[in-house]
Structures are given as structure tokens and as C-alpha cells.
Chains A and B, each alone.
Chain A
Amino acid sequence: MTEVRATETMVAAGANELRDGEVVVVGVGLPQVACVLAKRTHAPSLTTLLEIGVVDCGPVDTPVGLADSRIFYGATCWSGFLDILGMNLHRGIVDVGFLGALEVDRHGNINTTLLKDGSGRVQYFNGSAGGNDVASLATRIMIIMRHGKRKLPAMLAHLTSPGFGDGRARGELGLRGDGPHRIITDKAILGFDPESHCASLVSVHPGVSIQDVVEHTGFPLHISDQTATTPLPTEEQLRLLREDIDPQRVYLT
């Protein structure tokens, strides 16, 4: 096996967080790859839902996004937003919401709307789409993103989708679901303290130091005495990712 890429560790870590039998609403990109990987390994009864109206898809070609017909292929049901985001997510039966992000703060609040440069000039991105709905309503939220001071800032440029708000419990904020559970980056896995709802370090990826993670995080990060090392993807996971799931490295760059 050649050297393991950071994206492969991220995707395997994401897959490992999913349990067999769970229902997951998935965003574009690495979350989708992680779900396919989980389904092909330890979680064959995982149900993936796409907001566009696709249940349990089985793509045989790599899609470029949610609106790509490649991701409609092999589904067990085609419906729409009202079914997926309404009668599944809003209904309260979605276990995991798996999202990407432009920025995430220490309370797991997500920005997917805009960034501001030093002079305050605003640049817009894709916005919420189903992101706010998923973050508001799924039982646990997993975020998968690159690690960096500007990706994990002290203050978001915009709060598109809520985590723990200013650090309060979800019920107090008026939100359903248990809120952010994991932030999986190319350096580490972060979790959240059950009392303070602040981000803490769960594990660092092989070859990454705790200091490196702290230096590249824009907010103060709680470090416990027993920070683990993220397991490398197994040979089986790597083989599936490289030969089957994303052979052209559309996502696993």
C-alpha cells in the first residue's frame, strides 16, 4: 500500500463513526464517500438520504455533486425535499447529519454562507441549502472539513447552521437533536464537552502532533490527558476507496 492520504483517513474516520442500521442525511463530497465506505464494510444496513429526494443510492460512477444523475442510480426510492427533509429529518428519525463547512466555531456552529476579508469585503458561497435543516434537526451532527486557523476561527463570519449557539444546551436554544458530535479534519478528530459544549481533542491522526493541531486551530481547544491516535484506514477500507468508490480521486485528493 502506498502512503495513506489525509482524505482517506478522514473518510475512514467518518465511516467508523456510523453504526449499522442508522439513518444518515448526507451532504456532497467526503460525507457521501464516508457513507458508501461504511455501507460496504461494517454498516450494510445504513440508510443514506439525500435532500434532493434519493433514498439508499448505490452509485456505480463517481458523482460530481447532489444534482448529478450518477447519485440517483441504484436508489430504493425517489422523492423530494418534503419527504427527506420533512417527513424524515423534521419528523425526527434521522440519526446522523453529515455535513461539510466553510467555517466551524468552538461550539460547532457552521458557516456555509460567506467569508469576509481583512477589509470587511464579503464573498458569498453556497448558503444553507439543507444544511441549516440538518444541523437543526438530526440527532447527532458530524462535520468533515480541512483543518486550519481560518476554517476553525474564534468567530464565524456568519452563523448559517446552529451547533450549541453560544455554548448552551440544544433544548435551551429551542432546537431538537443532540447537536454537534464530531468534527473530522485532515489533522484530528474533535468532540464536544457535554457540560460546556466546547470543542475538545478526541484524537490526532498518525504523524500529527497535538501542538500542530493547537497551532492550526483558531479557537482554544480543550486537550485531555489521554488524547488518542486516530486509527489508519484498514487495508480493506483503502482498497475499497481506491479501487471502487473513488478511483479517479474526485474527492480523495
Chain B
Amino acid sequence: MDKVKPVADVVRSIPDGSHLALGGFAIARNVNTVVHELIRQQKKDLSLSQCVMGMDTDLLVGAGLVSRLIVGGGSLDRFGRVNCVNRARELGTVESLDTSSLAVCFGYLAGALGVSFMPIKSLIASETLDRLESGPGAEAYRRMTCPFTDEEYVLVRAIVPDVSFVHVQVADRNGNCQINGPRWENEEQAKAARRVIVITEELVSTDTIRHCPERTVIPAHRVEAVVHQPFGAHPTSVFGCYDYDSEHLRLYVDHSSSPERIQDYLEQYILSSRDYQEYLEKIGGTERLMKLKARKDRGY
């Protein structure tokens, strides 16, 4: 079944108020193709979840489209911090359930396994847990003594996103997708979600997938739609395909550090672009992108 769709059609099917899980990590494989379209279509009141936030979540928060976060942490590595997210936390405009990478991952794992919670030995004896218990996380984090060993655990409630987005190197038209390099929480996150959307750098035949099935992380029967967008994670990196764009990341951090300048960024690069292709033209088109292409022997 051919599931390849334009990103605009996919995003149109997402109601305001949805819980979206984003597959990026800091400055790697951010689902920017979808993020741009969510901003163009002004999808509102979103909940976002992710182990480690990157530019993807920061952009959506900067665009004022996010009401709630479930996250472990976030950064743009040495380029800077998630300024829009941090500003929203400081102003209290976003409800932020700040936990840990493993707590978010265990939440997805519970969702993916169809169990309602997962016991964890992190978070104990920390203000991280105190804040969750006394705030918006009270319904998602509880304590329990193990009936077998009497050991104390925190129970992380299952996280079941409405839609999970993951950016991958290779997929076929049916949605079988293969990830090259580390996969952070991609598998648990996708398999926990009600709907899975894959954005791929490259479309290949199903025969190509069958040639190395051990590399398939999310098989077709779990995937609702496939978006084909080369350089679709720019300016973040895609291992084996291209490096992060240092210059553009610095430009982004410069804009995201002020509430006025982030609006300029959104207008100039996203809202005034018809589609992702036009954005790629604005940042320098083929000539710029070719400079980011990965060396085959290094992956970056």
C-alpha cells in the first residue's frame, strides 16, 4: 500500500490539542519538515513529548503553539539552549513536566507494551520528583513499594501520544523504515503512539528493505503515512546523510534568544515559505546543502 503523502495533507489531519511525540534529539534528526508545516497551519494547544528536546520543540514553543511538555531535558548542544522553551517556562506560558530521559523512555515503553505504568528507580529523592508530584505531573508519577522485595519505586504512567513523528534515513512507500546510527527513543516512542508518521530522506523499494531487515526499526504495519523530504531535518544532522548546519544553528540561536527576533525567524524562514522546499532555497539551496553532505566513510 502506497502511504507516501505530502506533509501538508498529513498535518491537516491533526486536530488542535493533539499530543505529538517528536523523534529528534538536540541537534540530530529533528522532524523539522513537520514542525514547519505545523507552524504554517497554526496547529494550536499542542502537547509535545520527547526525551531530549531540540530545535523541533523549541520552534513550536517559540511559535506559541504548545500548551504542555513532557520532557527529560533539552539543548542545542554547544550551539546553545532551548531558549524559546526556557522563556516559556520562566513566564509560565507552558506547563512543563520535566522528568528524566529514562522516565520519558519508560513512559513510552509502557505505552508500547500496552501496560499502564513502568516502575523506575530514578527520580527518587529529587526535587524533580517533588515538583512533578505537587504539580501537573501528579497524575502521571506515583510511588509504590514493591510487593515482592519491599523496594521503593516511582511509577511512570504510560505515555500514549496521539501522533509520533520520526525522521529516518531510509523508508519504502509502505512505511518500513530503517535508521542508521543510534536510535535514542525512536522505537518505543513510535510504537507507543496511536498514529505513526515517518519522514524519510530517501525512498527505496521494499526489496531493498528485505535485503537487510535487521535494520528496520519500525515496520510498515505500524506506519500510517510516509513523507519524502530530502534534507528534511535541516539544520539538524542526519547520520550518514548530512551534517548539522553550524551557521544556520548559530543564526537560529541568535534569533531564539529574544522574543521579538524569534518572530522574525518564524516569518522569514517558515511562515513566508510555501513549503519546505522553499525554505531550503532560502537557506542557500543545493549549493549550501551539498556542502553539508556526509562523507560516506564518516557519516557526517
Interface residues of A in 202-248 (CB under 8 A from B): none
- Asked whether, in the complex, the Cβ of B72 is within 8 Å of the Cβ of A127, the reply is yes
Residues of B within 8 Å of A131, CB to CB, are 73, 100
In whole angstroms, what is the CA distance A116 to B184 when docked? 32
Interface residues of A in 117-140 (CB under 8 A from B): 121-133, 136-137
Report the interface size for chain B: residues with CB under 8 A from the other chain: 58
User: Does B102 count as interface, using CB distance less than 8 angstroms?
Assistant: yes
* Nearest residue, chain A, Cβ from B119: A90
- Asked whether, in the complex, the Cβ of A128 is within 8 Å of the Cβ of B121, the reply is no
Per-residue interface assignment for chain B, residues 94 to 108, with 1 indicating a CB less than 8 Å from any chain A CB and 0 otherwise = 000011111101100
- Asked whether, in the complex, the Cβ of A90 is within 8 Å of the Cβ of B120, the reply is yes
- Asked whether, in the complex, the Cβ of B183 is within 8 Å of the Cβ of A68, the reply is no
- Asked whether, in the complex, the Cβ of B185 is within 8 Å of the Cβ of A81, the reply is yes
Residues of B within 8 Å of A165, CB to CB, are 125
Residues of A within 8 Å of B26, CB to CB, are 65-67
- Asked whether, in the complex, the Cβ of B123 is within 8 Å of the Cβ of A132, the reply is yes
Stretch with Cβ within 8 A of A (4 or more), from B78-86, B219-227, B282-290: B78-86
Question: What is the interface of chain B, defined by CB distance below 8 A to chain A?
Answer: 25-28, 51-52, 54, 71-75, 77-79, 81-82, 85-86, 89-90, 98-103, 105-106, 109, 120-128, 151-152, 181-188, 236-237, 239, 243-244, 294, 298-300
User: Does A196 count as interface, using CB distance less than 8 angstroms?
Assistant: no
Residues of B within 8 Å of A41, CB to CB, are none
The verdict on A129 contacting B127 (CB below 8 Å), with A66-B26, A73-B299, A78-B181 known, is no
Chain A interface helix/strand/loop/mixed = loop
Choose one: A65, A73, A127; the contact of B77 (CB below 8 Å).
A65
Report the interface size for chain A: residues with CB under 8 A from the other chain: 55
In whole angstroms, what is the CA distance A130 to B52 when docked? 9
Stretch with Cβ within 8 A of B (4 or more), from A1-9, A14-22, A169-177, A187-195: A169-177
- Asked whether, in the complex, the Cβ of B81 is within 8 Å of the Cβ of A130, the reply is no
The verdict on A159 contacting B126 (CB below 8 Å), with A86-B105, A127-B74, A175-B121 known, is yes
The verdict on A136 contacting B122 (CB below 8 Å), with A67-B27, A79-B182, A85-B105 known, is yes
